[in-house]
């Protein structure tokens, strides 16, 4: 099981949260926390802290996220949480 | 839970401000490859580099993808070849550079360092063989980098070596004249060379290191510039320095974390993190731009040395606590052809060789990736090296010279090296004769402050 941070950036529109949530569900990835904000430059941003399961195929998940990125013209980043903890927590 | 804006800040650093891990460099001890027969030694060198280096690129790429951090360069540094070849039955060390080159190609890395000699207190016969082999060794290979340490605060400066190396730099450029002298870009002369520098062309694996270590160099001029650009113009210089310290802490933590993950996955000891700001020719990844953000119209203006000194100091102060082990060169780099802002400033005549020399007294390393006229004499190149080595020796810091006397080109001409090596406008060098000084040769004594015991 891995703790991941999924960050979504792009133009706001209906159904974004559902698209990402459905994808997470498909790969049995649990959402621990979720926040969303519109940044100063009018960019929609959503950050999800998620946890994969033992049967999660992370490689396939990353590929599907890439497909969603292209189809919906979003920037989506899937990164292990430790990176952020190392940069922002002493 | 991490804050939303902390995560967005990191994402922006990585994706719009060019934050990356500039290099992970695997240091490999080659002492157990020594044999009397040069061919046996060369074969062992090849086999050991391939055995230990094969997983490097794949592992670094995998970890980079997991964390969403680009690891730009994957490289190898080896024990200085003048030590490894000392007992071999050959005076031409090209055979060893070719073994290194073949291994580098096999494991998929772009540069391998360590075709090197340490002569700050005198030559061994092997050091001389290596220096004499340099033009052939570096121009007949694609990926091998070489270096010679000619001075140190502890031992003084080997002027005889500097005399030889002025000609070596010329020969390297001439032997690669079809590519604007690019072989000279793969060679650097040092004072106070460090044994754990992960950056090329000067990386080598010093004999004091463990058998195999992984060291890291981070980048991040774009991130520092962005942080400074958010400050109001009336912010005091203390606020500028504090801002750099804070952002350097984050940059370094990222590099330290990624480096440790790569070392762990490879099963090798983590070496050091080099607290450096390393530019690239890409727009927005320039140390010159950071200096301009201090409040200069162009790098090279009066005030540049002051700004660079503060930048260098703040990067170290911020990075030090963020890293487990610090080493290498650690400071801001100012390679002219590899920095978009430096390229512009030299082209526009705002940045001169003399100003660059002054800047090297307060930052990491030295006169780096500077294109000079092809007809510059070897003695003048030696004089240039001697000046830079003196700055390093007296100030107890690493200094270096990597200049390219571009064959058949003169002041104002442009030369394009390509890729991360970038491009440069050829700048003038003082042509007053210094040959009598250089031809004196011998060993310049160590300064008074070398006597610390």
What is d(CA A48, CA A34) in angstroms, rounded to the nearest whole number?
Answer: 4
Which of A87, A89, A90 would best serve as a mutation to test chain B binding (most B beta carbons within 10 A)? A87
Arithmetic mean of pLDDT over chain B: 96
Q: What are phi and psi of B122, to 5 degrees?
A: 130, 165
**Cβ neighbours of A33 in B, within 8 Å:** 1
Please tell me the predicted confidence (pLDDT) of residue B1: 67
Please tell me the predicted confidence (pLDDT) of residue B397: 95
Please tell me the predicted confidence (pLDDT) of residue B331: 86
CA distance B291 to chain A (A): 24
CA distance A52 to chain B (A): 13
| DSSP per position, B60-127 | HHHHHHHHT--EEEEEEEES-HHHHTTTSS-S-THHHHHHHHHHHHHHT-S-EEEEEEE-TT---HHH
CB contact under 8 A, B68 and A83: yes
Strand blocks (E) in A11-87:
30-38, 44-51, 75-80
**Cβ neighbours of B4 in A, within 8 Å:** 35-37, 45, 47
CB contact under 8 A, A5 and B7: yes
Is B250 in the A-facing interface, judged by CB distances under 8 Å?
Answer: yes
* pLDDT, tens digit (0-9, with 9 covering 90-100), for B53-62: 999 999 999 9
pLDDT-derived band of residue B45, with 50, 70 and 90 as boundaries? very high
**Cβ neighbours of B11 in A, within 8 Å:** 7, 9, 77
**Cβ neighbours of B2 in A, within 8 Å:** 5, 49, 81, 84-85, 88-89
Q: Is the separation of the CB atoms in B79 and B116 below 8 Å?
A: no
Task: Give mean pLDDT, residues B265-273.
Answer: 97
CB contact under 8 A, A81 and B4: no
CA distance B63 to chain A (A): 10
What is d(CA B182, CA B407) in angstroms, rounded to the nearest whole number?
Answer: 10
Query: Which residue from B1, B15, B253 is facing A49, i.e. has the nearest CB?
Result: B1
Q: Which alpha helices (DSSP H) does B365-424 contain, by range?
A: 378-395
* pLDDT, tens digit (0-9, with 9 covering 90-100), for B377-436: 999 999 999 999 999 999 999 999 999 999 999 999 999 998 889 999 999 999 999 999
* pLDDT, tens digit (0-9, with 9 covering 90-100), for A22-68: 999 999 999 999 999 888 777 889 999 999 999 999 999 999 999 99
Note the ipTM here.
Answer: 0.90
Is B69 in the A-facing interface, judged by CB distances under 8 Å?
Answer: yes
Respond yes or no on whether the N-terminal peptide bond of residue B201 is cis (omega within 30° of 0).
yes
**Cβ neighbours of B8 in A, within 8 Å:** 7, 9, 39, 45, 47
Query: Which residue from B5, B8, B68 is facing A79, i.e. has the nearest CB?
Result: B68
Query: Which residue from B1, B4, B257 is facing A83, i.e. has the nearest CB?
Result: B257
Give yes or no for residue B282 having a pLDDT over 80.
Answer: yes
Query: Which residue from B5, B8, B250 is facing A87, i.e. has the nearest CB?
Result: B250
What is d(CA B221, CA B201) in angstroms, rounded to the nearest whole number?
Answer: 20
Q: Which burial class, exposed, middle or buried, applies to B167 when counting CB atoms under 10 A from its CB (0-12, 13-18, 19+)?
A: middle
Task: Give mean pLDDT, residues B252-277.
Answer: 95
Residue of B nearest to A79 (CA): B67
Tokens linked to B315: 């990067």
Please tell me the predicted confidence (pLDDT) of residue B356: 97
**Cβ neighbours of B254 in A, within 8 Å:** 83, 86-87
Assign B317 to helix, strand or coil.
Answer: helix
Please tell me the predicted confidence (pLDDT) of residue B357: 97
Sign of the Cα torsion B424, B425, B430, B435 reads positive
CB contact under 8 A, A7 and B8: yes
CA-angle at B429, arms to B424 and B433, nearest 5°: 155
pLDDT-derived band of residue A14, with 50, 70 and 90 as boundaries? confident
% pLDDT > 90, chain B: 91
Give the residue numbers in A contacting B (CB under 8 Å), as ranges.
5, 7, 9, 33, 35-37, 39, 45, 47, 49, 62, 75, 77-89
**Cβ neighbours of A74 in B, within 8 Å:** none
Q: Is the separation of the CB atoms in B332 and B263 below 8 Å?
A: no
Is B67 in the A-facing interface, judged by CB distances under 8 Å?
Answer: yes
Task: Give mean pLDDT, residues B145-172.
Answer: 98
**Cβ neighbours of A59 in B, within 8 Å:** none
Give the H or E element holding residue B151. strand B144-152
What is d(CA B116, CA B130) in angstroms, rounded to the nearest whole number?
Answer: 7
Give yes or no for residue A10 having a pLDDT over 70.
Answer: yes
Please tell me the predicted confidence (pLDDT) of residue A89: 87
Is B323 in the A-facing interface, judged by CB distances under 8 Å?
Answer: no
Give yes or no for residue B2 having a pLDDT over 90.
Answer: no
Task: Give mean pLDDT, residues B164-179.
Answer: 96
Tokens linked to B89: 């039955």
Tokens linked to B233: 């113009």
CB contact under 8 A, B2 and A81: yes
* pLDDT, tens digit (0-9, with 9 covering 90-100), for B71-109: 999 999 999 999 999 999 999 999 999 999 999 999 999
């Amino acid at each position: 099981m891995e703790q991941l941070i999924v960050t979504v950036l792009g133009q706001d529109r209906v159904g974004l949260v559902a698209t990402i949530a459905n994808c997470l569900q498909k790969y049995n990835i649990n959402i621990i926390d979720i926040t969303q904000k519109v940044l100063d430059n009018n960019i929609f941003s959503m950050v999800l802290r998620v946890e994969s399961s033992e049967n999660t195929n992370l490689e396939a998940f990353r590929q599907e996220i890439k497909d969603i990125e292209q189809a919906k013209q979003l920037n989506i980043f899937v990164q292990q949480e430790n990176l952020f903890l190392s940069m922002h927590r002493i | 839970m991490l804050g939303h804006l902390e995560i967005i800040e990191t994402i922006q650093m990585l994706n719009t401000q060019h934050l990356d891990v500039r290099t992970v460099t695997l240091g490999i001890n080659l002492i157990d490859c020594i044999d009397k027969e040069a061919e046996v030694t060369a074969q062992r060198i090849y086999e050991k580099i391939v055995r230990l280096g094969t997983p490097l690129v794949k592992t670094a790429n995998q970890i980079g993808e997991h964390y969403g951090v680009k690891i730009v360069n994957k490289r190898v540094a080896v024990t200085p070849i003048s030590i490894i070849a000392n007992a071999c039955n050959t005076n031409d060390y090209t055979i060893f550079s070719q073994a290194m080159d073949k291994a580098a190609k096999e494991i998929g890395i772009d540069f391998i360092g360590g075709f090197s000699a340490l002569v700050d207190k005198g030559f061994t016969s092997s050091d001389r063989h290596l220096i004499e082999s340099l033009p052939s060794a570096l121009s007949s290979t694609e990926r091998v980098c070489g270096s010679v340490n000619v001075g140190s605060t502890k031992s003084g400066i080997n002027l005889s070596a500097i005399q030889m190396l002025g000609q070596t730099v010329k020969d390297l450029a001439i032997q690669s004249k079809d590519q604007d002298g690019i072989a000279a870009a793969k060679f650097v002369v040092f004072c106070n060379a460090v044994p754990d520098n992960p950056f090329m062309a000067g990386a080598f694996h010093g004999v004091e290191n463990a058998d195999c270590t992984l060291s890291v160099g981070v980048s991040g001029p774009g991130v520092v510039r962005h942080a400074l650009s958010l400050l109001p113009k009336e912010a005091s210089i203390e606020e500028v320095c504090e801002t750099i310290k804070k952002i350097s802490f984050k940059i370094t933590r990222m590099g330290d974390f990624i480096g440790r993950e790569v070392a762990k996955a490879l099963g090798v000891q983590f070496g050091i993190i080099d607290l450096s700001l390393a530019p690239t020719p890409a727009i927005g990844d320039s140390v010159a731009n950071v200096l301009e953000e201090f409040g200069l119209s162009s790098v090279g203006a009066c005030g540049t040395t002051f700004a660079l000194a503060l930048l260098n100091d703040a990067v170290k102060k911020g990075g030090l606590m963020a890293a487990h082990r610090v080493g290498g060169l650690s400071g801001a780099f100012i390679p002219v052809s590899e920095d978009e802002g430096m390229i512009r400033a030299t082209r526009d005549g705002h940045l001169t060789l003399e100003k660059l020399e002054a800047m090297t007294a307060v930052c990491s390393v030295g006169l780096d990736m500077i294109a000079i006229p092809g007809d510059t004499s070897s003695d003048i190149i030696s004089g240039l090296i001697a000046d830079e080595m003196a700055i390093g020796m007296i100030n107890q810091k690493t200094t270096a010279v990597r200049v390219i006397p571009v064959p058949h080109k003169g002041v104002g001409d442009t030369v394009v090296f390509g890729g991360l090596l970038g491009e440069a406008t050829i700048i003038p060098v003082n042509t007053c004769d210094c040959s009598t000084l250089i031809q004196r040769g011998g060993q310049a004594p160590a300064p008074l402050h070398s006597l610390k015991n």
